[in-house]
């Protein structure tokens, strides 16, 4: 009889646990947490689905809409991401992170003016946060990143004065974060990135950037962002100084990052760029293919793959396939229609080339070079 009672009580406990688990899965908070974990593990499609479940339970959850938008942004579903981010801002108009993500998407879509306005709004809102809490390291780092992106996307080489000032403002934001916590490896990486962005207009920044990445690696030797960042700076220096040994060292850092995380498409893409800069085009294509295997919606990789196939290897049929994959993801980029037309023209497919050129012109491309 006692054994029966124990079994009965155990069954009740099991049923209670199952009911509790089911109840928990029916909360927005549960799915929000699931989304955050999936996003952190680079499972962006699944993260977006988890955030959707949170939204179904709580349609006014701004954090869920933001998470969905950020997840879709990473996999280049720009229109859907923008819809989610606009919903975030309907619910929370002063959400700085949503403005930041929105500005990135506008940039990705080639909408420079809209991107600049969104970055400026994000910067303003991060400043408001910092007035309330000047020790908010995350806000300092995000403000710095927004300033760096504003400089690159909006000002560029056409406005050196504003470009330089905006880069300097970004560095001040990173330095503020490091004043609060000199052991913050993310802050050192952000500073390294900012200095690298400045380096083409001030070559002394290359060495400062390397020093920042070295500090980040010292603090966190397995941080792939720091390893890849240092590799990128060494690659730039190698190209500028024609020092092949720097290419070798850069590749060692990339390979170290791949040992730590061989499933990060960004690292494979960086390796492709490193190899391409040395005219090792076949090896570069192998690296880009690995990146695309891991993230087939990275249109920037499809573009660079197509350009290498056309411009460096004269494999025009393959370049057209790469451009088509880009255009499946984003059919509104005039320049890609134009270079697809160039490849078609070179192959003698005149009518198809003319159709591609017409599409480019309809989307705003004016300076066609019809071979």
CA distance to 12, 22, 24, 28, per residue, from 18 (Å): 10, 6, 10, 18
- pLDDT recorded at residue 1: 53
Q: What is the DSSP letter of 156?
A: G
Same domain, 134 and 215: yes
Long-range contacts of 130-133 (CB under 8 A, 24+ apart): none
- pLDDT recorded at residue 24: 56
Residue 1 is assigned to a structural domain of this protein: no
Same domain, 188 and 234: no
Residue 105 is assigned to a structural domain of this protein: no
Residue 111 is assigned to a structural domain of this protein: no
Q: What is the pLDDT of residues 233-262, one digit of tens each?
A: 999 999 999 999 999 999 999 999 999 999
Same domain, 355 and 323: yes
Query: How far does the chain reach from its first CA to its final CA, in angstroms?
Result: 92
The pTM for the full model equals 0.87
Which residues neighbour 36 within 8 Å (Cβ) at sequence distance 6 or greater? 47, 67
- pLDDT recorded at residue 155: 87
Enumerate residue ranges in the chain where pLDDT < 70.
1-25, 157, 367-371
DSSP string, 331-358: TT-HHHHHHHHHHHHHTT-HHHHHHHHH
Angle subtended by helix axes 244-260 and 224-241, to nearest 10:
160
Same domain, 290 and 317: no
**What whole-number distance in Å separates Cα of residue 55 and Cα of residue 24?**
15
Same domain, 225 and 306: no
Residue 269 is assigned to a structural domain of this protein: yes
Residue 185 is assigned to a structural domain of this protein: yes
Same domain, 259 and 212: no
Same domain, 252 and 263: yes
Other CB atoms within a 10 A radius of the CB of residue 204 amount to 10
**What whole-number distance in Å separates Cα of residue 153 and Cα of residue 148?**
9
**Boundary-marking domain end, from 255, 282, 297:** 297
**Boundary-marking domain end, from 265, 297, 329:** 297
Burial class (CB in 10 A: 0-12, 13-18, 19+), 172: middle
- pLDDT recorded at residue 110: 85
Residue 261 is assigned to a structural domain of this protein: yes
Domain that holds residue 263: 221-297
Same domain, 264 and 309: no
Same domain, 149 and 216: yes
Residue 56 is assigned to a structural domain of this protein: no
Which residues neighbour 351 within 8 Å (Cβ) at sequence distance 6 or greater? none
- pLDDT recorded at residue 137: 97
Helices (H), the chain: 2-25, 28-40, 44-57, 62-74, 78-91, 96-108, 112-132, 137-150, 160-180, 185-198, 205-219, 224-241, 244-260, 265-277, 281-294, 299-307, 316-329, 334-346, 350-362
**Boundary-marking domain end, from 220, 250, 276:** 220
Which residues neighbour 198 within 8 Å (Cβ) at sequence distance 6 or greater? 164, 167, 171, 205
Q: Identify whether the C-beta of residue 85 lies closer than 8 Å to the C-beta of residue 104.
A: no
Q: Could you give the number of structural domains in the chain? A: 3
Residue 68 is assigned to a structural domain of this protein: no
- pLDDT recorded at residue 119: 96
Same domain, 130 and 213: yes
Q: What is the pLDDT of residues 105-164, one digit of tens each?
A: 999 888 999 999 999 999 999 999 999 999 999 999 999 999 999 999 988 767 889 999
Angle subtended by helix axes 2-25 and 28-40, to nearest 10:
70
Q: What is the CATH number of the domain that holds 290?
A: 1.25.40.10
- pLDDT recorded at residue 367: 67
Same domain, 160 and 236: no
Same domain, 191 and 241: no
């Amino acid at each position: 009889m006692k054994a029966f009672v124990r079994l009965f009580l155990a069954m009740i406990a099991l049923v209670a646990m199952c009911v509790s688990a089911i109840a928990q899965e029916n909360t927005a908070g549960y799915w929000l947490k699931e989304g955050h974990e999936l996003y952190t593990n680079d499972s962006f499609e699944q993260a977006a689905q988890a955030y959707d479940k949170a939204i179904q339970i709580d349609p006014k959850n701004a954090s869920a809409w933001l998470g969905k938008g950020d997840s879709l942004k990473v996999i280049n579903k720009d229109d859907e991401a923008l819809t989610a981010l606009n919903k975030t801002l309907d619910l929370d108009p002063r959400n700085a992170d949503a403005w930041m993500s929105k500005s990135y998407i506008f940039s990705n879509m080639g909408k420079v003016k809209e991107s600049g306005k969104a970055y400026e709004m994000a910067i303003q809102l991060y400043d408001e946060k910092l007035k309330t809490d000047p020790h908010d390291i995350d806000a300092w780092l995000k403000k710095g990143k927004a300033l760096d992106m504003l400089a690159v996307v909006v000002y560029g080489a056409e406005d050196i004065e504003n470009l330089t000032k905006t880069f300097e403002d970004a560095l001040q934001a990173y330095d503020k974060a490091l004043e609060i916590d000199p052991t913050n490896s993310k802050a050192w990486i952000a500073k390294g990135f900012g200095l690298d962005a400045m380096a083409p207009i001030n070559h002394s920044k290359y060495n400062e950037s390397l020093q920042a990445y070295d500090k980040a690696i010292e603090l966190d030797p397995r941080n792939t962002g720091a390893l890849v960042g240092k590799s990128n700076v060494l690659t730039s220096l190698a190209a500028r100084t024609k020092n092949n040994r720097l290419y070798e060292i850069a590749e060692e850092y990339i390979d170290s990052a791949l040992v730590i995380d061989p499933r990060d498409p960004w690292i494979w893409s960086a390796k492709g760029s490193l190899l391409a800069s040395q005219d090792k085009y076949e090896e570069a294509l192998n690296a880009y293919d690995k990146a695309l295997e891991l993230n087939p919606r990275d249109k920037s990789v499809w573009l660079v793959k197509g350009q290498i196939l056309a411009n460096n290897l004269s494999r025009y049929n393959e370049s057209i396939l790469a451009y088509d994959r880009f255009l499946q993801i984003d059919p509104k980029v005039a320049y890609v229609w134009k270079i697809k037309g160039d490849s078609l023209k070179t192959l003698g497919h005149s009518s198809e080339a003319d159709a591609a050129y017409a599409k480019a012109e309809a989307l705003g491309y004016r300076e066609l070079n019809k071979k």
